[in-house]
Amino acid sequence: MEREELLASLRPRVTDERVLAAVADVPRELFVAPALQRMAYVDRPLPIGGGQTISQPSLVARMCELLDLSDDDIVLDVGSGSGYHAALLSRLCRHVYGIELDPELAEQAARSLTLAGIENVTVVAGDGAAGLPEHAPYDAINVAATASGEVPAALEGQLAIGGRLIAPVDCDGREHLHFVRRRADGVERTLLDAVRFVPLR
Ligand code: SAH
């Protein structure tokens, strides 16, 4: 499957033209192992090593769209894995800080991003459940691994006023995307699509 076919299949579901342009621009084949490159534009999750997976493009696009990013936004990406999701986010904002628990994946992600010519993503190795306080607050936070019970409080606490967060959360064996918007007078939480991600460790 080619990039154009993937884009055509996303069009009915993703309406934000900036997100579609990001999918069109970012070479997903640079973020998967050489043996999987011919699968890069199939709308499926793919293994990236260490038992982890890169999410399917339609889900990455949907999550990017939900964050409603502007050119000036500073974004935190928790569980950067291959770096693909961070790469799409980087086309929609000013800077992405990525945090990845597995140091080898973090290094590989940084290499792939450089190969893709992307300069506004910084990937660090570490535990993203605690966020990345040194660059907070964030206009948006993207989480790509499932938290148990609720969105980690540390992450909600690192949102700027007006900031948005999207995260998969498992409640009693049911896994959904949770959307959080921080307002001056509190936090608004919305339950969205049923999904499956690897666990946040
Ligand atoms: N967004 C990635 C897909 C990531 S899969 C991509 O585009 O490729 C989820 C990732 O979360 C895995 O790489 C896993 O190592 C990482 N992860 C799990 N728990 C984490 C934690 N506490 N902090 C940071 N990363 C974590």
Note down pLDDT in tens along the chain; length 201 residues: 689 999 999 999 999 999 999 999 999 999 999 999 999 999 999 999 888 999 999 999 999 999 999 999 999 999 999 999 999 999 999 999 999 999 999 999 999 999 999 999 999 999 999 999 999 999 999 999 999 999 999 999 999 999 999 999 999 999 999 999 999 999 999 999 999 999 999
Q: Which of 9, 55, 70, 148 is catalytic?
A: 55
Q: What is the chain's length?
A: 201
24-62 residues labelled b (16+ CB within 10 A) or e (exposed): eebbbbbbbeeebeeebbbeebbebeeebbbbebbbbbb
Q: How far does the centroid of ligand 1 lie from the alpha carbon of residue 120, in Å? A: 19
Among 31, 33, 23, 16, which Cα is nearest to 2's? 23
| Predicted TM-score (pTM) of this structure | 0.98
pLDDT of residue 44: 95
pLDDT value at residue 1: 65
- State in Å: Cα 183 to ligand 1 middle: 27
| Residue whose CB lies within 8 A of the most ligand 1 atoms, among 63, 84, 102, for a mutation test | 102
Instruction: Look at ligand 1, atom 11, and give the residue with the nearest C-alpha.
Output: 79
Active site residue 55: yes
Expressed in angstroms and rounded, the spacing between residue 78 Cα and the centre of ligand 1 is 6
